[in-house]
Amino acid sequence: MSPLPLERPFRFIASLAAGWAAGLSDFVYPPVCPGCGVRTGSHAGFCPSCWRKLRFIERPYCEVLGLPFSYDPGPNILSAQAIADPPVFDRLRAAAYHEGAARDLVHGLKYRDRTDLAAMMAGWMLRAAEQHVHECHGILPVPLHPSRFIWRKFNQAAELGRHLAHLSDRPFIPSALIRVKRTSRQVGLTARGRQDNVRAAFAIAPGREADVFGKRLVLVDDVYTTGATVSSASRALKKAGAAEVTVLTFAMAVSGPI
């Protein structure tokens, strides 16, 4: 074996150390399926059973609300819901149906502090709206109220947005939009109750108007249910002069194609 060049020993040692650290990490925290917990060959990988339960939202879908169609009605077709009640945002995209393994990912990130799942979820979100993400001027999460943030310790939408910005090389502006109203939890509320709960809940942070005015923005959240939260946040962005708001979530609460 030829001797290592003198200029490479530190790089070689660093490589060995990184491999040793990765092996130790896998020993202490063995890679498991994020859906069911069974051992897998690598981190951020599903077992075959859970992978089959993960349904991605694919075209054809409504160009505005992203609702999947059961058949292809042709290009640029809108759903009846988008025509009857146009949203305040410009478009919505979601990576997966909020069921099975996708729901497990959302709950793991949100309720079990599994922030390690955010990078994988953000990768699928980028796939769902790649063109709009790459054309945007900034990515921002739906913010938590400060009191909720202290209790929860992190914002799951911000974790997704941070990784999305890293993957797409777009600016991440998590402090541009703030939550000025302490709202109740949306879970369990009716559609009207959700709208009332988050009405006027968001505003542009003082001094951050330039981050929004005239900009194409991607607003990130974990799940789209009735749209009350992202609509309220989008309304604040549009009022501040945002040129375009694309809402991007990991999952959408819809039973199937319409």
Domain ranges in the chain?
A: 9-52, 57-252
The first and second tokens of residue 37, run together, are 């917990």
Closest CA to 241 of 207, 221, 217: 217
pLDDT value, residue 66: 97
pLDDT value, residue 18: 47
Q: How far is residue 198's CA from residue 183's CA, in Å, rounded to a whole number? A: 6
Q: Which of residues 10 and 133 earns the better pLDDT score? A: 133
Reply yes or no on whether the pLDDT at 107 is more than 90.
Answer: yes
Q: How far is residue 205's CA from residue 224's CA, in Å, rounded to a whole number? A: 24
Q: How far is residue 140's CA from residue 218's CA, in Å, rounded to a whole number? A: 6
Q: How far is residue 191's CA from residue 13's CA, in Å, rounded to a whole number? A: 58
pLDDT value, residue 195: 72
* Banded model confidence at residue 217, pLDDT cuts 50, 70, 90: very high
What is the third-level CATH fold of 57-252?
Rossmann fold (3.40.50)
The model's pTM is: 0.85
Reply yes or no on whether the pLDDT at 64 is more than 80.
Answer: yes
pLDDT value, residue 122: 98
Average pLDDT of the residues in 13-29: 48
Rg (CA), the chain: 21
The first and second tokens of residue 10, run together, are 């530190």
Reply yes or no on whether the pLDDT at 87 is more than 50.
Answer: yes
> Which DSSP symbol is given to 57?
-
pLDDT value, residue 36: 81
Q: How far is residue 103's CA from residue 222's CA, in Å, rounded to a whole number? A: 10
Average pLDDT, rounded, for the chain: 86
The first and second tokens of residue 142, run together, are 């739906």
Q: Which of residues 191 and 251 earns the better pLDDT score? A: 251
pLDDT value, residue 10: 52
Q: How far is residue 67's CA from residue 57's CA, in Å, rounded to a whole number? A: 8
Closest CA to 224 of 81, 84, 47: 81
Backbone phi, psi, residue 208, to 5°: -110, 15
> Which stretches within 53-145 are classed as H helix?
80-84, 100-111, 118-128, 130-134
Q: How far is CA 8 from the centre of its chain?
A: 41
pLDDT digits (tens, 9 = 90+) for 147-205: 777 777 899 999 999 999 999 999 999 999 999 877 766 666 677 777 767 778 899 99
